[in-house]
Amino acid sequence: MNGAALGHVALLFAIGLASGFIGTVVGFGGGFLAVPLLRLAFAIAPAEAAGASLVMVVANAVSASFAYARQGRTDVRTAVLVGIGGLPGAIVGALLVRRTSSPHFDALYGALLVVFFLEIVRRSLRTEPPRPASVPGMRERSLVDASGECFTYGTIDALVIAIGFALAFASSFFGIGGGVVFVAAFVGFFAMPPHIVVATSTLAILFTAPVGVAAHGIAGDIDWYLAIPLAIGGTVGGQLGPRVAKGLSPPALVTAIAAALVIAGVALALHRR
């Protein structure tokens, strides 16, 4: 392997490490940062960027899910329901991204980041604690973590499954893991506490992202020379992220989410290929 090839491997590992670390801290899965960086550094097509990113997202989610499980902050039932809704969404997303041009993909991706950044900033400016949205049939759920701390929020199964479809579609189409959708929806609709939403989002991604990987693999979108170094970096980042997230206060975690979106948005704005 020559120097240029080693440099590419090192860069891919660094992208995976940074994306996996930041993604597991904020619960987005890391792909939201990896995709624009891949488009920027290697000028690959949207479907290829999404496919390689999703391989990293799966490795990152496996690593981080074990770390979060030890903390006892994962709502497993909710994550499973998201996975049920996610199966068709992942297939549709993988098929549709192949029909999307690079400029349109970048524009859609940039718009997605802007929408979620503005929503997170709006929530960070609120002085009162979030409350569940008024949705018929919502039931209260409580979760006690490994340290004995109790978290309470609302949930409704049908809406959780519908969110799973949207999450998996975004995951497969954009290669982002879908955590952006999960975090915004579960904080917005159910007032799920930040630490629970991050841990549960990571497990939900683990249930939905492999379907997207399979769909992209069948379509021939995955370049394994890109995906493997990304995945190794994402696995390392998946162990580091939960340790940092555990020590952050809820306001600090919200700030970290917004900062991560800014980083991804700037990376995409700089893309000219």
Ordered by start, the domain boundaries in the chain are 3-269
Q: Quickly count: other Cβ atoms within 10 Å of residue 210's Cβ.
A: 19
144 forms bridges with which residues in the sheet? Answer: 150
Residue 47 has what pLDDT? 86
- CA-nearest of 268, 201, 223, 231 to 35 is 268
Buried b (16+ CB within 10 A) or exposed e, 31-47: bbbbbbbbbbebebbbb
Averaged over successive runs of 10 residues, the pLDDT of the chain (273 residues) comes to 78 88 72 80 85 87 82 91 88 85 77 68 61 68 88 88 89 77 80 84 85 87 91 85 69 66 63 51
- The pLDDT tens digits for 81-120 are 998 988 888 888 888 888 888 778 877 777 777 766 676 6
0.85 surpassed by pTM: no
Residue 77 has what pLDDT? 92
Cα distance between residue 87 and residue 41, in whole Å: 31
Buried b (16+ CB within 10 A) or exposed e, 122-152: eeeeeeeebebeeeeebeebebebeeeeebe
- CA-nearest of 75, 257, 260, 258 to 152 is 75
The two tokens of residue 107 are 């524009």
